């Protein structure tokens, strides 16, 4: 008989200041991008925005450069504390746990 023990750990909180400002790749009409911008604003986190036009050139999110860090080729993408987050719910969790901002 086998016994499986599951341990849960609290989310890791960064203990040092980030070396650089978070970068948010977004499109101004994207509701998911708005969700992340609102969370960053409520937390008071200063960030850099890089626009990704979903219409121009068949969608800039499909470019090789963008797909290199977001393989699902969707917006938004948030790079914060050395982590690349590609799902808005994961952004909200990361930003809510950010104690160094």
Supply 53's token pair.
């036009």
8-31 pLDDT tens trace: 444 444 444 445 899 999 999 998
Stated pTM of the model: 0.71
Mean pLDDT of 83-101: 74
Q: In whole angstroms, give the CA distance from residue 72 to residue 56.
A: 18
Spatial contact of 29 and 53, defined as CB atoms under 8 Å apart: no
Indicate if the pLDDT at residue 3 is higher than 60. no
Which run of H or of E encompasses 85?
A: strand 83-85
Residues in Cβ contact with 6 at an 8 Å cutoff, skipping those fewer than 6 apart: none
55-90 pLDDT tens trace: 998 899 999 999 998 999 999 999 988 888 888 777
Indicate if the pLDDT at residue 5 is higher than 60. no
């Amino acid at each position: 008989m086998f016994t499986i023990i599951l341990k849960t750990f609290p989310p890791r909180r960064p203990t040092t200041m980030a070396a650089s400002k978070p970068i948010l790749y977004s499109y101004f009409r994207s509701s998911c991008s708005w969700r992340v911008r609102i969370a960053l604003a409520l937390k008071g986190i200063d960030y850099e925005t890089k626009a990704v036009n979903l219409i121009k050139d068949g969608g800039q999110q499909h470019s090789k450069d963008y797909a290199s860090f977001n393989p699902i080729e969707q917006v938004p993408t948030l790079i914060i504390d050395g982590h690349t987050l590609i799902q808005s719910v994961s952004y909200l969790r990361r930003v809510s746990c950010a104690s160094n901002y």
